């Protein structure tokens, strides 16, 4: 069986599983649609959370970004994993104790204001739509390679599949589908990594293989990688920082606090039966996430080494056009890898100097999916990776679309504009809102502003500057008022959006943004994707300042905050009640 047939078989079986689960677990009530009935087991929810968390940006794009950015790419690893710890410790248990359906609903009740709830919905939609663009980019990349079609066609096929199982099952269907998707994606990520680590270093553990010596040599893999990339004119892989130390700090912190403010992950903890189950679920999710995130640096380093060496006929000599390997030809059909023989010498030149580089398109999002082909692994491994990439892209896209549809149907329609609609009407509105969100996200995915991880990083920055401060102050401060929260959210996300559009967005080439503009006028050299941390500081400052000059929250709101923070049955809670 050739690669194409095997890929169809493996991916077809996984999709049949997803669609079967969606039909079996279809939602029959709003509670099942929004929070899966709130009776998901903590371990199962931890696995579903991991799948929701490890999006196309994690599976497809993160290792690709690290492969080309080197040490500077560690911002994604540190930011996303560190942020999950903040989410698990400081946000999820308290919101689960609050016990409602959505993040804007908590903000509306905590700040005793429908206006605050509406502002939170707008912020949520802006963050989630930005995030889902990155997922749709991953869907298009994965499907285009799997179906051997162009990117646009691949994206349209992926949209139809997401539309079916997300609209049908809601949170209940998505939860159980994501459990299956986690199993597929983690096997698809780790098995090729083990093969390639054995191939390069004879060490079956990729995390250790990255620091091992190459087969038949006393040269360490990372030393060899540094040598290869510097010979091609690039900076050393192991020491190349992300513009500056301050920028790396800001980027990492922005990703961390943005993580703790992303509603599509937070609502996953509403699906478990208790606060204790939410804490257990968070711990299990961290274990499941760590399996992929500790493997990613090894995948990135080995992919970059194989990519550079496969374009060499011999050390220092490039491949001729006719000698280009089959994996290269396969990815050319997608339009995500291309070259132009500008000097007419018949060779494919890959170099840091634009005057010497003939690789006109090298989309970094292809690296994980192309890695097994570059390493000439068995066809079944390549087919498994295709299935894993599709699972990662679809799982998070579904979670994001649910967050968007919930905000529209439950918070805007039911909560503000049409409070008298029945549960059946609300469920219909949720499905229509999700269908519209799928179509809108697909349209935006056809014209993505950058790499999947880059677009996702921007979404984290927007969440950091708007939702995270409102949640933190709502949980841990009794003094912040509705006026302060509304002003803080608007100013935080406003400043961040202004900075992003002022500097035209996503930057990934050192010294320029994606339109080639110089960062000379950046605020302390902080790139747009990292500016969320500054927006968060503005949000906190404005909120506290405005709250100082406005009336304190009502007593019942302050009591609600105390009830959320204090564990039931604790000595402090007992003393307070007595």
pLDDT in tens, 196-252: 999 999 999 999 999 999 998 899 999 999 998 888 888 888 887 777 888 889 999
Q: Do 377 and 123 contact (CB within 8 A), yes or no?
A: no
Beta strands in 395-501 (DSSP E): none
Q: What is the pLDDT of residues 441-496, one digit of tens each?
A: 777 777 655 544 456 778 888 999 999 999 999 999 989 999 999 999 999 999 99
Q: What is the pLDDT of residue 574?
A: 44
Q: What is the pLDDT of residue 25?
A: 64
Q: What is the pLDDT of residue 507?
A: 40
Residue 533 has pLDDT above 90, yes or no: yes
Q: What is the pLDDT of residues 316-374, one digit of tens each?
A: 677 788 888 888 888 888 788 888 888 888 888 888 887 778 877 787 878 888 888 88
Q: How far apart are CA 218 and CA 201, in angstroms?
A: 10
Confidence bin at 38 (pLDDT 50/70/90): low
Residue 40 has pLDDT above 90, yes or no: no
Q: How far apart are CA 245 and CA 499, in angstroms?
A: 20
Which of 310, 290, 297 minimizes the C-alpha distance to 211?
297
Q: 376 to each of 4, 109, 312, 371, how far by Cα in Å?
A: 15, 56, 16, 9
Confidence bin at 545 (pLDDT 50/70/90): very high
Which tokens belong to 329? 């030809």
Residue 392 has pLDDT above 80, yes or no: no
Q: How far apart are CA 436 and CA 442, in angstroms?
A: 10
Q: What is the pLDDT of residues 124-151, one digit of tens each?
A: 888 888 877 777 777 777 777 677 778 7
Which of 86, 121, 101, 124 minimizes the C-alpha distance to 34?
101
Which tokens belong to 289? 């996430």
Confidence bin at 63 (pLDDT 50/70/90): confident
Residue 37 has pLDDT above 60, yes or no: no
Looking at the chain, the whole-number percentage of residues with pLDDT higher than 70 is 85
Q: What is the pLDDT of residue 485?
A: 96
Average pLDDT value over all residues in the chain: 81
Q: Helix, strand, or coil here: 62?
A: helix
Which tokens belong to 407? 């905000």
Q: What is the pLDDT of residue 406?
A: 77
Q: What is the pLDDT of residues 176-196, one digit of tens each?
A: 778 888 888 899 899 999 999
Beta strands in 160-304 (DSSP E): none
Confidence bin at 506 (pLDDT 50/70/90): very low
Q: Which residue has the higher pLDDT, 172 or 169?
A: 172
Domains of the chain and CATH, by start: 3-305+377-577 (1.20.1730.10), 311-372 (no CATH)
Q: What is the pLDDT of residues 520-531, one digit of tens each?
A: 667 788 888 889
Looking at the chain, the whole-number percentage of residues with pLDDT higher than 90 is 22
């Amino acid at each position: 069986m050739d690669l194409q047939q095997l890929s169809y078989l493996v991916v077809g079986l996984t999709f049949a599983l997803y669609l079967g689960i969606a039909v079996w677990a279809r939602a029959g009530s709003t509670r099942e649609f929004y929070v899966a009935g709130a009776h998901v087991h903590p371990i199962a929810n931890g696995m579903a959370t991991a799948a929701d968390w490890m999006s196309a940006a994690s599976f497809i794009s993160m290792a690709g970004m690290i492969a080309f950015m080197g040490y500077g790419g560690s911002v994604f690893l540190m930011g996303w994993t560190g942020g999950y710890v903040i989410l698990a410790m400081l946000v999820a248990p308290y919101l689960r104790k609050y016990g409602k359906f959505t993040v804007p609903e908590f903000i509306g009740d905590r700040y005793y204001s429908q206006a605050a709830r509406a502002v939170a919905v707008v912020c949520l939609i802006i963050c989630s739509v930005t995030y889902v663009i990155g997922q749709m980019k991953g869907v298009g990349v994965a499907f285009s390679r799997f179906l051997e079609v162009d990117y646009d066609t691949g994206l349209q096929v992926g949209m139809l599949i997401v539309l079916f199982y997300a609209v049908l099952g809601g949170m209940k269907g998505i939860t159980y589908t994501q459990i299956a998707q986690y199993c597929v994606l983690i096997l698809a990520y780790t098995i090729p990594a083990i093969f390639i680590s054995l191939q390069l270093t004879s060490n079956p553990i990729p995390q250790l293989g990255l620091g091992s010596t190459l087969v038949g040599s006393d040269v360490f893999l990372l030393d060899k990688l540094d040598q290869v990339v510097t010979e091609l004119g690039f900076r050393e892989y192991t020491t190349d920082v992300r513009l500056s130390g301050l920028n790396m700090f800001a980027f990492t912190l922005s990703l961390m606090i943005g993580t703790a403010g992303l509603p599509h992950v937070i609502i996953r903890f509403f699906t478990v039966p208790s606060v204790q189950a939410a804490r257990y679920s968070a711990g299990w999710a961290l274990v499941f996430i760590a399996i992929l995130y500790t493997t990613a640096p090894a995948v990135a380093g080995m992919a970059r080494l194989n990519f550079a060496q496969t374009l060499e006929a011999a050390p220092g000599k490039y491949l001729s056009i006719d000698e280009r390997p089959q994996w290269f030809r396969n990815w050319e059909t997608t339009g995500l890898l291309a070259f132009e023989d500008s000097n007419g010498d018949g060779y494919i030149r890959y170099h840091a100097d634009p005057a010497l580089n003939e690789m006109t398109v090298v989309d970094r999002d292809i690296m994980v999916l192309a890695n097994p082909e570059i390493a000439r692994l068995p066809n079944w491994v390549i087919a498994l990776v295709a299935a894993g990439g599709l699972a990662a892209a679809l799982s998070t896209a579904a979670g994001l679309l649910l967050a968007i549809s919930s905000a529209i149907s439950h918070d805007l329609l039911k909560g503000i504009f049409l409070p008298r609609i029945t549960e059946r009407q609300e469920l219909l509105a949720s499905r229509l809102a999700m269908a519209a969100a799928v179509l809108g996200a697909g349209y935006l995915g056809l014209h993505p502003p950058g790499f999947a991880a880059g677009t996702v990083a921007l979404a984290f920055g927007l969440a950091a500057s708007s939702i995270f401060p409102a949640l933190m102050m709502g949980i841990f401060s009794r003094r912040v008022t509705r006026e302060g929260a509304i002003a803080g959210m608007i100013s935080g996300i406003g400043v961040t959006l202004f900075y992003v559009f002022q500097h035209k967005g996503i930057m990934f080439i050192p010294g320029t943004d994606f339109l080639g503009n110089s960062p000379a006028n950046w605020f302390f050299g902080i790139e747009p994707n990292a500016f969320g941390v500054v927006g968060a500081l503005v949000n906190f400052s404005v909120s506290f300042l405005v709250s100082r000059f406005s009336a304190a929250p009502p007593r019942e709101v302050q009591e609600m905050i105390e009830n959320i923070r204090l564990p039931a049955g604790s000595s402090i809670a007992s003393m307070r009640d007595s």
